[in-house]
Amino acid sequence: MRIGIPKEIKSGENRVALTPAGVIELRALGHEVFVTQGAGTAAGFSDALYLQAGAILCESVASIYDAAELIVKVKEPQVQEYAFLTNRHCLFTYLHLAANRSLTNALLASGASCIAYETLTDTHGRLPLLAPMSEIAGRMAVQAGAHHLEAAQGGKGVLLGGIPGVAPASVLILGGGVVGANAAAMAVGLGAQVRVMDKSIARLRYLDDLWRGRVICEYAVQERVNACAIAADLVIGSVLNTGASAPKLLNRQLIRQMEAGSVLVDVAIDQGGCFETSLPTTHQDPTYVDEGIIHYCVANIPSAVGRTSTLGLTNATLAYILRLADEGLTCLKYDAGFRAGLNIHAGQLTHSGVANSFGLLAKDPLALL
């Protein structure tokens, strides 16, 4: 199969979808790999490394789409890429369609088969391709929050871990999944007072067993969420409804009651955000102030550590890329977890979470494949 790795053109995006080592694996099985010149530079992978791995370098993103059948990316296609996709393409990337109707419409019109990393599941119902980026985003959410609590960044001037005689900062993490668990680990490591709230007793029990009192694990009833948010210095939103829009956990009226200079980090912004006041930001301009509260809502947090993210992503995606290259879409027929990644096929929505976000009905992917 002819596999294309376009250079990511989303603002502030430093990742690339495949390392040179991944190219070697595909070439060993006889597949052709086309890579845009400079695609891996920001992640520390030179064109020379891709050439040594056996890739064919192309001058432009458009030429990648022309040459390849399987397009493997990191982020969703940008507006200038919409016209490149056709019904002969299979697109494999993060899509987050529930927060982007115009992209959804463009992909439907293209006729391409679009598989989203973030809805693909394994045999245990977990999200294996979302997990590595969630791990990074959770850890970086705490780093970003700690930085923006500094007075020079407009924060209230609180040190996350405090010092002897001065209480540490209060960190509230909404959602105890992969993002939340990694955020808790980082916040505990920095010495903060940490509370995780979730609606899954099983997940809270797991985190409580792990931290044995070092992290407060509390069931997320809205009254308690509100009270804890008002008292927190840093709130990290890390909830996920697979494929669907994120629920709004804090409304504007509640945020108005928080202490000025507190920080909200919305890791769910790719899915529309979990705070009513959340708007997408970029690494170049990561924050804004609304109701006196600093909002950090960068939509591609892991891009800040592009090399680590690229290595982690390739580790997770390569086995799936190899299957698509060897078998094409046939592999989705016999693997329900892989098939759960299919969001769009033959001009139809095939994921119920995405369809529900737009008030539409999803088609059964098995009936279309």
Q: To which H or E segment does residue 99 belong?
A: none
List 31, 96, 148, 351, catalytic entry:
96
Cβ atoms of 232 and 261 within 8 Å: the answer is no
Instruction: Judge residue 313's burial from the number of C-beta atoms within 10 Å of its C-beta, 0-12 exposed, 13-18 middle, 19 or more buried.
Output: buried
Cβ atoms of 119 and 93 within 8 Å: the answer is no
Q: Is 124 a catalytic residue?
A: no
Query: b/e for 212-250, b at 16 or more Cβ within 10 A?
Result: eeebbbbebeeeebbebbbebbbbbbbbbbbbbbbbbbb
Contacts of 141 (CB under 8 A, 6+ apart): 179, 183, 186, 236, 238, 265, 267, 296, 301
Residue 95, token pair as written in the block: 């899509």
Q: Is 96 a catalytic residue?
A: yes
Alpha carbon distance 38, 316 (integer Å): 23
Q: Which of 155, 98, 193, 128 is nearest to 338 (CA)?
A: 128
Alpha carbon distance 206, 231 (integer Å): 25
Query: In the chain, at which residue ranges do the beta strands (DSSP E only) sit?
Result: 2-5, 32-36, 56-58, 70-72, 90-93, 113-116, 170-174, 193-198, 215-219, 234-237, 263-266, 287-290, 293-296, 342-345, 348-349
List 198, 270, 295, 345, catalytic entry:
270
- Torsion-angle region of residue 65: left (phi > 0), alpha (psi -120 to 50) or beta? alpha
Show which residues are catalytic: 96, 270
